Each structure stands twice: as C-alpha cells, then as structure tokens.
Amino acid sequence: MKRRLKANDDQASFALLPAALPDEKLLEIHRRLCLIFGCPIAYFRALDPLSELVSSLLSHRTRNVASGAAFRALRARWGEDWAAVRDADPAEVEAVIAGVTWPEQKAPRIQAILRRITELRGELSLDFLAEMTVPEARAWLQALPGVGPKTSAAVMSFSSLRRPALPVDSHHHRVAVRTGLIPPSVAVGPSHTILEARLPPDWTAQEIYDHHEVMMLHGQRVCFYRNPACERCVLLELCPEGQKRTAGGASAEQKSVEGK
Ligand code: SF4
C-alpha cells in the first residue's frame, strides 16, 4: 500500500525539526486509514496563498459550511480585491462574515493581517512564499498577528503552493492522542512539531496532505469526541484508548465495517 516517493527540495526543511524519526505506529495508522479513505486524496481547492490565509482565519472554531459561506460572502462583496477588504469599514467586514464564530474578533484581525502584509511586502500577495523553504515560510506567516502553526501549515499545504506541511485540527489531534502518537498533555499547537517530526522525511506534500485528511476524516466519522465507535475501528488493536474502552477489542469482522 505504502508508496515510497522521491525526495524533493522541500524535504530539507525537515532538517530544522527536532528528531525526524519516522514512527512505525504512525505509518501503520496511515496505511490502514488510507485503505479506508482512498489515498491519494484529491485536494479540495487551490486558492492562492493569501486567499487561503483568509479562509483559514475564518475557519477557526467554525464549521466548514459557515466559514465557506463567509469566504464566499467576502468575495461577493469585494471580489478578489483583498486591498478593498483591508480598507473597508470594520463593521461592514464583521457583518459580511457574521456567520462565523467570533466575527467581531476575526474581522479586525483579518484587516490587521492584510495591513501588516502590505507594510512588510509593499503589496498584498503571499506568492513570494513559493521561493522560501517551508520552515522559513511558516515562520514568516507565524510572525503575523494571530497566525499559529495550524494556519501556517494550512496555507502551505492547502493553497496552490502545495508544499509539505501538516495541519493538525481538533479531529486529527484527538485521534493522535487516543492512539498514543502524542501524550494527552500536548495541545493542538505544540502537536504540530511533534507529529510532523514523526513523518518519513521523504514524504511528498501529497502524502502529508493525505495523512492530515485521513486522520481528520477518521475523527469525524469513527473516533467521535463523545462515544468513539471503537468496536468498528480499524485502529483498535493499535489504540490504547480503544483497548481500554472495549476491554479486549473487537472482532476482525466488526473492524471491516468502518465508515458504514
Ligand atoms: S479504537 Fe476508538 S479511541 Fe482508538 S482510534 Fe479507534 S475509535 Fe478512536
């Protein structure tokens, strides 16, 4: 199942991460979930990196349906002109994105970030990130107000840049904790460095994207926040939390019906 893929220039970025130790359990989890969800998984969009940044900021603690609607509402009001959003009345921006969580905070934050990018670069574009290594680009993004590791990884991975970076959302994080890839004490933010350091250094952007997607999908469809469906989980025998909850494990037949 596992494809060994060629290295590329971006792999040098992992040298800056601590202890790049490919984790056998992580690889087995990835292999099993990829069989279920079908890797490679198609990218769901290809926004330019600045638009992806705005989209990611809107999505924080917000359902995809609501953040997608807010992004489309920004586009409907101001087109693709992020300078117009930057210079708009903050109250109007807040009203346009009213469907997301905390619009009163996100509207001024997005405008502040757009102003900061303009100050630093003299234009409103993040296309220059393509010329930087992944760690350099993520550090640049994370120096912006309110931008953390999940957002910087999302910009690098989900945008048209298509670079190797691992976003960790709450579903992904929950599965990683329960399966023992990270201790429960590690929050979502710090988990990015730990989980990314465990990936094989020769994985491509697509494989890293696949890993995020399958972990997220597993969290959404099987490893629920409340009452995870351990009895039909393909990861049960690898998962300390699942073993504890089922006190012995499920049969192979039960495990084969994941997602149904
Ligand atoms: S066995 Fe249970 S706790 Fe472990 S990953 Fe599967 S659903 Fe989640």
Domain ranges, ordered by start, for the chain: 9-41+166-255, 49-125
Residue 260: CB partners within 8 Å, gap ≥ 6?
Answer: 232
The secondary element (H helix, E strand) that includes residue 23 is none
CA–CA separation, 211 vs 228, rounded Å?
20
Quick: pLDDT tens for 128-148: 999 999 999 999 999 999 999
Spatial CA neighbour of 258 closest among 237, 229, 227, 238: 229
> What is residue 23's predicted lDDT score, i.e. its pLDDT?
85
> Which class is domain 9-41+166-255?
mainly alpha
Dist. CA 243 → ligand 1 center (Å): 8
Q: Which pTM value belongs to this model?
A: 0.85
Dist. CA 208 → ligand 1 center (Å): 21
3-state helix, strand, coil in the chain (%, to 5): 60, 0, 40
> What is residue 22's predicted lDDT score, i.e. its pLDDT?
64
Mutational test site, ligand 1, from 236, 238, 254, 257, max ligand atoms within 8 Å of CB: 236
Dist. CA 249 → ligand 1 center (Å): 10
Q: What CATH number has the domain spanning 49-125?
A: 1.10.340.30
> What is residue 251's predicted lDDT score, i.e. its pLDDT?
43
Residue nearest to atom 2 of ligand 1 (CA): 230
Stretch 103-128: mean pLDDT: 97
Residues with CB under 6 A from ligand 1: 175, 178-179, 222-223, 228-230, 233, 235-236, 239, 241-242
Residue 215, pLDDT above cutoff 80: yes
Residue 1 pLDDT level (bands cut at 50, 70, 90):
very low
> What is residue 100's predicted lDDT score, i.e. its pLDDT?
96
Share of the chain above pLDDT 90, in %: 83
Stretch 228-242: mean pLDDT: 97
On average, the pLDDT of the chain sits at 89
Quick: pLDDT tens for 36-66: 999 999 999 899 999 999 999 999 988 889 9
